[in-house]
């Protein structure tokens, strides 16, 4: 038995996760001073095992709070301290592409390893690093995937859909989702020219005429890749195009742009709070915490 700590903006997922774990739940109270500094208030005493739910979308202020929270939790009694971050930020920059670039994944991972005994996340954006154990060296790094949950949801909503990864990186999620839903999967080719400038090409010889297509990805941020992929499949004659993602960031007007490109439905997990949330990852997280 442990205790789950959470912040007010993630109370819904926290309640679902606490229920799935069978653990009590407590909120971390935050007070912002006029100069922007925070005061955090935790329960006066903590049990030996504590998990902190904190998704790291819009991460900078949240990382500062975790830097304060983790040692405070240990002072109050926590011996085994886990971070449950359904979305884990700063994973994309896993090498220096230009001289002088900071490798964000390495440095954030080491910081988290200094604060927590376990870091649990969902579908982390890993490429040249194979496992979460490498991200948080010397600690337990746990990663679970929501792809099978996404596949089951899509199969129920759009029977016979073609699942399409909008780029090569998304192929792994599209294929797992397809197997879970008994569907077909394929992967587009993407060329990125900038943060918001991408070109997406359909797989050679792929027939989408008259078929329902669902674009599957781990993260939707600016939405440009999804926009270009949606336009490509509709131009090729797809009957409908929907989107299913693990992490619905949708920065600025990204969601509106995705719908404007012809996307009918957008479905996401509740890893990141968003109006498109329809798939709950609490049981997935609870199972990983128990086994980890």
How many CA atoms within 13 Å lie on the side-chain side of 183? 33
User: Hey, which CATH number is domain 3-145+280-291, 3.40.50.2020, 3.40.1160.10, 3.30.70.20, 3.90.1150.10?
Assistant: 3.40.50.2020
Least confident of 16-20, 99-103, 285-289: 99-103
Given a cut of 70, whether residue 179 has pLDDT beyond it is: yes
3-state secondary structure 14-27: HHHHHHHHCCCEEE
d(CA 263, CA 255): 10
Query: How do residues 213-246 score in pLDDT, each as one tens digit?
Result: 999 999 999 999 999 999 999 999 999 999 999 9
Catalytic residue among 62, 139, 190, 247: 190
Q: Map out the domains of the chain as residue ranges.
A: 3-145+280-291, 147-270
DSSP codes joined into one string, 163-190: EEESSGGGHHHHHHHHHHHT-EEEE-EE
Give the largest Cα separation in the chain, rounded.
63
Query: How do residues 159-173 score in pLDDT, each as one tens digit?
Result: 999 999 998 888 999
Q: What whole-number percentage of the chain has pLDDT above 70? A: 97
Domains 3-145+280-291 and 147-270 share a fold: yes
Query: In the CATH hierarchy, which fold is given to the domain comprising 147-270?
Result: Rossmann fold (3.40.50)
Integer-rounded Cα Rg, in Å, for the chain is 20
pTM of structure = 0.93
Non-local (6+) Cβ contacts of 40 within 8 A are: 28, 29, 30, 65, 68, 69, 72
Given a cut of 60, whether residue 194 has pLDDT beyond it is: no
Query: How do residues 51-72 score in pLDDT, each as one tens digit?
Result: 999 999 999 999 999 999 999 9
State the chain's mean pLDDT as an integer.
93
190 carries an active-site annotation: yes
How does residue 197 score in pLDDT terms, banded at 50, 70 and 90?
low
């Amino acid at each position: 038995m442990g205790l789950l700590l959470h912040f007010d903006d993630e109370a819904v997922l926290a309640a679902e996760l606490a229920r799935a774990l069978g653990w009590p739940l407590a909120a971390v109270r935050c007070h912002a001073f006029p100069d922007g500094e925070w005061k955090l208030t935790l329960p006066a005493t903590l049990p030996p095992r504590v998990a902190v739910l904190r998704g790291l979308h819009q991460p900078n202020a949240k990382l500062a709070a975790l830097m304060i929270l983790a040692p405070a939790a240990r002072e109050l009694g926590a011996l085994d301290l886990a971070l449950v971050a359904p979305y884990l930020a700063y994973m994309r920059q896993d090498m220096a592409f230009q001289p002088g670039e900071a490798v964000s994944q390495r440095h954030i991972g080491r910081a988290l390893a200094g604060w927590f005994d376990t870091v649990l996340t969902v579908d982390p954006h890993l490429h040249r690093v194979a496992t979460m154990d490498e991200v948080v060296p010397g600690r337990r790094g746990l990663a679970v995937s929501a792809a099978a949950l996404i596949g089951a949801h899509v199969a129920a909503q759009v029977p016979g859909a073609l699942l399409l990864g909008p780029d090569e990186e998304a192929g792994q999620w599209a294929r797992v989702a397809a197997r879970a839903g008994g569907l077909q999967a394929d992967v587009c080719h993407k060329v990125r020219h900038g943060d918001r400038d991408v070109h997406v090409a359909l797989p050679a010889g792929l027939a989408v005429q008259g078929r329902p297509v669902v674009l599957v990805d781990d993260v939707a941020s600016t939405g440009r890749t999804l926009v270009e992929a949606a336009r490509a499949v509709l131009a090729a004659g797809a009957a409908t195009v929907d989107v299913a993602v693990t992490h619905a960031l949708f920065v600025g007007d990204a969601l509106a742009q995705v719908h404007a490109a012809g996307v009918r439905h957008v479905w996401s997990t509740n890893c990141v709070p968003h109006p498109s949330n329809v798939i709950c990852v609490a049981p997935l997280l609870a199972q990983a915490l128990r086994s980890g």
